[in-house]
Amino acid sequence: MEILGYVVTALAAYLLGSVPTGFLVAQARGVDIRTVGSGNIGATNVLRALGKPAGVFVLLMDALKGWLAVVPLSRLVMLVLGAVADSATRETVEIIAGGGVILGHNYTCWLHFKGGKGIATSAGVLLALVPWALVSILIIWIVVFVLTRYVSLSSIAASAALPLGTWATHESLTEVLVTAAMGALGIYKHTENIQRLLNGTEPRFIRKTKEAPK
């Protein structure tokens, strides 16, 4: 029953994560977000293409997917299967749910396994698993963004610091290793951004200002 619970949790979390929020929001506006800007379905590209309200909505929904997978979904699966979970089993189920939802977002089956970078969804998972580690890397993200105005560089820096932030907030070794894997995946998903940063072609996030009336 325990193994079945793990499998069902992974599949359910993957399907939850695979809902392509950014793609659906853009489609509702008559835009194929995959053909605009960076081509990514994540919140940053949606914000640049469709504006702040759409971008913020996608950011929050993608983060919510991560939290929903780890907290209510994993518990619901165990409850339905009638599994009695001790603390170790519960931690394992939550980690499986977190990994499943991130993979679902990054490699959604509905878009030929091409999804987002998983940063917002990972934040939702971290909020549920290691909230203080999330706070520490959010500070790093904000500092790097303020100094550079690069969303991608901020996300890369936060991903790199994630396992250290988890260790510094006295989480378990398992959670340190899991967040290290999450950070590595986050950096890997930014491979193209890294190349553009090295080439000096990565776009900065520039706040648009309204023109003064003539």
Question: pLDDT digit string (tens) for 115-141?
Answer: 999 999 999 999 999 999 999 999 999
- Is 209's pLDDT higher than 60? no
pLDDT band of residue 212 (cuts 50, 70, 90) is very low
pLDDT at 28: 97
CA nearest to 124, candidates 69, 183, 206, 199: 69
- Please check whether residues 86 and 147 belong to one and the same domain: no
pLDDT of residue 206: 77
pLDDT at 213: 47
Q: Residue 162's pLDDT is what?
A: 97
Q: Indicate whether 214 belongs to any domain.
A: no
Q: Which domain holds residue 11?
A: 1-129
> What does pTM read for this prediction?
0.92
Whether residue 108 is found in the same domain as residue 199: no
What dihedral do alpha carbons 68, 74, 76, 82 form, nearest 10°?
Answer: 180
Residues 5 and 97 grouped into a single domain: yes
Question: How confident is the prediction for the chain on average, in pLDDT?
Answer: 92
Residue 212 domain-assigned (yes or no): no
Angle of helix 21-28 versus helix 52-68 axis, rounded to 10: 150
pLDDT of residue 171: 81
d(CA 55, CA 59): 6
Smallest CA-to-CA distance from 106 within 96, 94, 91, 116 is with 116
Query: What was the pLDDT predicted at 85?
Result: 65
- Residue 84 pLDDT exceeds 70: no
At residue 53, the pLDDT reads 96
Task: Kindly report which listed range (3-7, 20-24, 126-130, 182-186) carries the lowest average pLDDT score.
Answer: 3-7
Give mean pLDDT, residues 6-13.
94
Q: Are residues 134 and 66 in the same domain?
A: no
Question: Domain total for the chain?
Answer: 2
* pLDDT-derived band at 4, boundaries 50, 70, 90: confident
**Local confidence band at 83 (pLDDT 50, 70, 90 cut-offs):** low
Task: Summarize pLDDT for 144-173 with one digit per residue, the tens.
Answer: 999 999 999 999 999 999 999 999 998 889
Out of 129, 145, 179, a domain closes at 129
CA dihedral 65, 71, 72, 78 (to 10 degrees): 120
